[in-house]
Amino acid sequence: MTYRRAGVDIEEGDRFVRIISPLVRKTFRKEVLTDIGSFGALFKLDVVRYKEPVLVSGTDGVGTKLKVAFMMDRHDTVGIDLVAMCVNDILTSGAEPLFFLDYFATGELRPEKAASVIEGIVAGCKEAGCALIGGETAEMPGFYEKGEYDLSGFAVGAVERSDIIDGSGINAGDCLIGLSSSGLHSNGFSLVRKVFFEQEGMDPQAHVAELGTTLGDELLKPTRIYVKAFAALKGKVPVKGMAHITGGGLTGNLPRIFPEGIGAVVQKGSWPAQPVFGLIARKGRVPEEDMRRTFNLGIGYVVVVPEESSSNTITLLKDAGYDSFEIGRTEKGRKEIRYE
């Protein structure tokens, strides 16, 4: 009996590292001090740039969206999702993403398939401007279904302490600027899969006219990364608060950044409807309130700015390639969202 016969092929693991090393190095910033293969990755914080740096960290996974990737046998986008879910979270504090680590676990390592996943992570890191500084690949026979894997990640960023965005300055009458999502992003897929595949028996490879693409391609659209959106606003408009709209939707995520005594009203129909959400609601007969609490419904990120900065904010975001809309206002009251 050998380790290989038990299901773990060290040679394949080594080959995987050789495949991904050139890709990973493309994300390295000048602050990275170690190469791939070290026990710990070293990153030198630029102390000249920061007077009082504060590190901001976040971790997340892709969730059951991975099941759709397995069904489509397409693995080049879920890595982008992984990076996006982490860096968008730390961005809400005003942090610049510095570096990222990933964890890839599978029952049997297939280097080419795993490399496709890493390609997505590399693409996400390059979009966010952070270095893929390290990671872990775990081969665990008998733990996962054949051909399946799990994926999680960890991001670290930095922000000047005086520049931290925490929502404390939000007042009644401020504007909510919603930035378009690319679709479902990486939330609500347990409900999505239940509706489309278990209840309706739909084929992920089938073209859906309402979506203008195959069902699987629509569901695998990667989560949008908003780092460059904030960069376009920084120093140009007074950003009072930011929220990443993930599981819980606007209803669950916006109140997290409000101070006590502040809520918000969101104007229904103030941004374009995306067909995938209507399809889910109709096919699954999902109540409106459940849709709001489960999905982003077309708004992936929200920036809170003073009323007089609303128009300029939307213009700056458009110039940076992000569609955005004034979707509501803050108001005095309980820390909750109401819809009109």
Encode pLDDT of 145-196 as tens digits. 999 999 999 999 999 999 999 999 999 999 999 999 999 999 999 999 999 9
Give the separation between CA 126 and CA 123, rounded to whole angstroms.
Answer: 5
Query: So what's the pLDDT on residue 190?
Result: 96
One domain for residues 156 and 183: no
Give the separation between CA 21 and CA 186, rounded to whole angstroms.
Answer: 27
The verdict on residue 194 lying in a domain is yes
One domain for residues 92 and 231: no
Taking Cα atoms as reference points, which of 220, 280, 218, 227 lies closest to residue 249? 280
The verdict on residue 237 lying in a domain is yes
Domain CATH number, residue 265? 3.90.650.10
32 — pLDDT class (breaks 50, 70, 90): very high
In the structure encoding, which two tokens stand for residue 270, read together?
Answer: 């103030």
Domain CATH number, residue 123? 3.30.1330.10
Among the candidates 163, 190, 216, a domain finishes at 163
Give the separation between CA 116 and CA 73, rounded to whole angstroms.
Answer: 11
- pTM of the predicted protein model: 0.94
Q: Domain range spanning residue 234?
A: 175-339
The verdict on residue 153 lying in a domain is yes
Residues 6+ away with beta carbon under 8 Å from 227: 87, 88, 91, 96, 97, 127, 128, 129
Phi first, then psi: what are they for 121, rounded to 5°?
-60, -45
The verdict on residue 4 lying in a domain is no
The verdict on residue 31 lying in a domain is yes
36 — pLDDT class (breaks 50, 70, 90): confident
Number of domains in the chain: 2
One domain for residues 30 and 125: yes
One domain for residues 158 and 249: no
Give the chain's mean pLDDT.
95
One domain for residues 139 and 194: no
pLDDT at residue 202 greater than cutoff 90: yes
SS3 category, 301: strand
Among the candidates 136, 163, 190, a domain finishes at 163
The verdict on residue 300 lying in a domain is yes
One domain for residues 121 and 188: no
Radius of gyration of the chain (CA): 21
One domain for residues 133 and 31: yes
The verdict on residue 86 lying in a domain is yes
11 — pLDDT class (breaks 50, 70, 90): confident
The verdict on residue 249 lying in a domain is yes
pLDDT at residue 317 greater than cutoff 90: yes
pLDDT digits (tens, 9 = 90+) for 77-133: 999 999 999 999 999 999 999 999 999 999 999 989 999 999 999 999 999 999 999
One domain for residues 179 and 135: no
Strand (E) or helix (H) holding 80: helix 78-91
CA angle (283, 285, 289) in 5-degree steps: 130
Among the candidates 130, 163, 196, a domain finishes at 163
Mean pLDDT of 312-320: 97
One domain for residues 180 and 130: no
2/162: higher pLDDT = 162
One domain for residues 92 and 156: yes
- 131-139/96-106 β-pairing: parallel
What b/e sequence results for 197-208 when a residue is b if at least 16 CB atoms lie within 10 Å of its CB, and e otherwise? beeeebebeeeb
Give the separation between CA 340 and CA 9, rounded to whole angstroms.
Answer: 58
One domain for residues 159 and 179: no
One domain for residues 314 and 195: yes
pLDDT at residue 2 greater than cutoff 80: no
